[in-house]
Amino acid sequence: MTWISKDWAMGGIIKGLIVTLKHVFRVGNRPTVTVQYPFERMKVQPRFRGLHAVDENACIGCGICETNCPNSTITIVKHNTNWYPQVNVGMCLFCGICVDVCPMNAMKMTGNYELADYNRESLIYGPDRLLFNKEVNK
């Protein structure tokens, strides 16, 4: 019986049992912390890097975001009369480099993080889905 020579009292286990019991009855600042996701959502911080948004007035279609994108996520496509970025979210790293390099501050990232979709094609966000200021402009 040498292998269990000490700790016969199982004091450590009893200590642990007390701590877990404190959690069961939520004694002393041990609250439930889970967020019931589809029903309630966590607050997204203002700096959150989610889906891109492009300012329709500011964007000059220069393509700096395209060249600086590490993963070749962005391509510049023609939309109406101007050129705007199109983002393939399926490949995006959400690194924010496109936002950093934009000379006109036209690119920004929103708090939209629910981007799952049924096929790869719909993950390509064209200017029609990325541009904001649209309604304001009219």
Partner 1 sequence: MALIYSGGNNVESDELFINMGPVHPSTHGVLRFKLRMDGESIKECTPVIGYLHRGTEKLGEMKTYLQFIPYTDRLDYISAFPNNYAFVKAVEELAGIEVPLRAEYIRVMTMELNRIVNHLVGIGSLLMDLGAATMIMWGFRERENALQLFEMLCGARMTFNYIKPGGVREDMPEGFIPKLNEFLKDMEKRIDDYEQLINGNEIFHMRMKNIGVISGKDAVNYGWTGPTLRGSGVDYDLRKYEPYSIYPDLDFKVCVRKEGDSFARFIVRMDEMKESLHILRQVVDNMPESKVISSAEYGIAPMTGTPSSVSTYFPRIFAPPPGEVYSRIEAPKGELGFYVVSDGTTKPYRVKIRSPSFCNLTAIPSLVKGLKIPDLIAAFGTIDVVLGDVDR
Partner 2 sequence: MLFLAMWTGDIMFANTYELIVFILNYIGIYDPIYNVFKMFGLEYLLRIIIVLVEIAVLFVFILLTIMFLTWMERKVVAMVQARYGPMVTGPRGLLQPVMDGVKLIGKEDIIPAKADRWVFTLAPFLIFIPALLVFIPLPFGESLIISDLNVGLLYIIAISAISPIAILMAGWASNNKYSLMGAVRAVAQDLSYTIPLALSAIAVVLFTGSLSTVDIVTAQSGTWFGFIPKWFIFLQPLGFILFLIASIAEMGRIPFDFQESESELVAGFFTEYSGMKFAMFFLAEYAHLFSVSAIVVTLFLGGWSIPFLNLIPATFAALVPIISLVVFVIKTYAIIFFAMWLRDTVPRMRIDQLLNLGWKTMIPLALLNLLVTALLMTAGVF
Query: By the criterion CB under 8 A, which residues form the site for partner 2?
Result: 1, 3-4, 13, 16-17, 19-21, 23-24, 26, 30-34, 36
We find the least distance from the C-beta atom of residue 116 to partner 1, in angstroms, to be: 17
Are the CB atoms for 44 and 111 separated by under 8 Å?
Answer: yes
Q: Cα separation of 47 and 45, whole Å?
A: 5
Instruction: Decide: is 123 part of the binding site for partner 1 (CB under 8 A).
Output: no
DSSP 22-51: HHHTT-SS-------TTTS-PPPPTT---S
Identify the residue among 106, 125, 127, 131 touching partner 1 (CB under 8 A): 106
Q: Using CB under 8 A, which of the segments 8-16, 79-87, 116-124 binds partner 1?
A: 8-16
Which of partner 2, partner 1, none sits in contact with 21, Cβ below 5 to 8 A by type?
partner 2
Residue 29: both structure tokens together: 């600042």
